Structure 1
């Protein structure tokens, strides 16, 4: 069994003075939700997600050894930082973003044991999203995954004998330590995170590609994201996860997630869309039920979230088109449907659902493959 100690390098065989990498990493949408976690970002239950394609973060990581003189844009003061500190500059869309820095600092401190070279370099992180920052789409998963991929590219220079399997497993592990769901944004179209007895190779430490059969019904599956509320969430996901520790329904919920993941294994093989819809919508509502029954309790859905859900149910009953919804820990609605029904569903969205979106905004996406080196 793989343990965290397997990802702690003993020494590096090569060295590098300076350079840069650039990766893009997508967001993802969970079908079976993870809600509740243990120490060190370990999930209380397994989850499975579709990797998205268009909603992604693009991050460039430049690095230079602190003990070298360079004519690059890195200032002398930065290069002379003390050797026992982690130093970095952070740019968002080309501009300094100081309020993002504490989260990145915390991430670096968490992963330092796995990346002992971190204190040897000064880093410049320049990141941007392909979706508007104020769109209400969580960017922590894509952002942390993109940063983890860049750091692993640097480690691969230092240790060129690294296998591809190790590279992606460790990248996912690092991403998880930045944002739990980020481990599902590294590689694969359908990704499982969390140990599950019927999924070979599944792990609490990193996400793995779903290697069982996937029916053609789910190839090029579409996800149109309806932006009901583009503001910041009233309650952070971290607080929400913590409230599961004393939740009266927690143990039953964790068992339900295992059961639903089992059902999805069969659904992905047979292409059973009605059962897929039943599981996915139930999971979304259960996630929000856990929030509404915690102490303190909270509601992240908005009135227009419910209007959209009811409209989707009515449209599906009338047309028999297999369209469904899922939700993250927020008010926005992900509308999921087969590519073969794209034209009809998009017309329905334009005719009936856009009015429930803030400023009429929505994003069109589909299932993608994971992070890409640019």
Structure 2
């Protein structure tokens, strides 16, 4: 049986750092993010007796190494939960991204969310979004939040009932615009997660992260745009400090990244525009603002000499209808 799903990548607002369990992808602490659209991953999967083994293609290239291992874990989890006789067959997966990958724009979140959603449909699972988020988490913890969409909160835990994502409804979604400043620079998030706990900043981050989560949830509930994205900006600096003080001293930012930071602060401090920068593990920058100011903000980011795009808040992962073009 074949199914196609689409999912949007996430921008971390209060980001997780470090994995308690790398196999189950259990983070040390909670995290909150927002899905970004129309950027997306579209994935088609098929269980078939003609498939001797699992085959995974992303943007036309076969997946190998640790990414393949994580995809296998999602497939096996779906098989264990499914009663469909065809779920024992090999899987063919083809996925394509509408945006650049490995540059800090969350492609792993949307990719693993889309495959988990498509696999569950193809295996005839009657799963809630929360249950799907726990399956997708086996590929990437951020994929759990990509499944539930919008502003979502992934709770830390040691099992699938606790460590799953929940949507936080907020009216700021209607006015929230995200200007992306694309700064190409290959990165490997797993390297940063593996050594996070060895940074002398890690325990300091753990000490304040629970208050950050509570503040962010409250700000979202009260539709307080400035408070949400002031938190996102400060959390980006905290994440980078922890990453840069690990054993390898990873520095993901580039001069263009810092130039965008300066442009954002100038808009906010001199022109009184509600605008805040945010980064995940990478050099590219999310610039959060409102619809009223988005054109001015995009112009300022583009003046830094980078490619830009304007995104908005995306919804949950979903199954596409047959006429919406499967990949094979």
TM-score range, shorter chain: 0.7 to 0.9
Q: Hey, what's the Cα distance between the residues in 1 that align with 2:215 and 2:181?
A: 27
CA shift for structure 1 position 22: 0.6
In structure 1, the residue matched to 2:68 is 104
2:168–2:217: 8 Å Cα contact kept in structure 1? Answer: no
In structure 2, the residue matched to 1:271 is 223
2:179–2:286: 8 Å Cα contact kept in structure 1? Answer: yes
CA shift for structure 1 position 271: 3.4
SS in 2 for 1:186: helix
Q: Hey, what's the Cα distance between the residues in 1 that align with 2:87 and 2:314?
A: 34
Q: Hey, what's the Cα distance between the residues in 2 that align with 1:119 and 1:271?
A: 43
Q: Hey, what's the Cα distance between the residues in 2 that align with 1:133 and 1:300?
A: 15
Change (3 A) 1:177 1:281: same
SS in 1 for 2:54: strand
In structure 2, the residue matched to 1:258 is 210
SS in 1 for 2:240: helix
**Residue 44 of structure 2 corresponds to residue 60 of structure 1:** yes
**TM superposition score normalised by structure 2:** 0.87
RMSD: 2.4
Deviations 1:142-175 (A, max 9, x none): 11110000111123x2x5xx3xxx4322211111
In structure 1, the residue matched to 2:148 is 187
Deviations 1:23-56 (A, max 9, x none): 1111000100101120121111111001111111
**TM superposition score normalised by structure 1:** 0.77
Change (3 A) 1:274 1:24: closer
In structure 2, the residue matched to 1:21 is 3
In structure 2, the residue matched to 1:6 is none
In structure 2, the residue matched to 1:130 is 98
**Residue 32 of structure 2 corresponds to residue 48 of structure 1:** yes
Which protein has the larger Cα radius of gyration, Structure 1 or Structure 2?
1
Q: 2:266 aligns with which of 314, 332, 335?
A: 314
Structure 2 residue ranges without an equivalent (≥5): 321-328
Stretches (4+) displaced over 3 A: 99-102, 132-138, 269-274
Aligned counterparts, 1:285-296, within 5 A: 285-296=237-248
Q: Hey, what's the Cα distance between the residues in 1 that align with 2:291 and 2:249?
A: 38
Q: 2:163 aligns with which of 199, 202, 205?
A: 205
Aligned length: 312
Structure 1 residue ranges without an equivalent (≥5): 1-18, 67-73, 82-86, 197-201
SS in 2 for 1:336: strand
**Residue 188 of structure 2 corresponds to residue 225 of structure 1:** no
Q: Hey, what's the Cα distance between the residues in 2 that align with 1:293 and 1:270?
A: 35
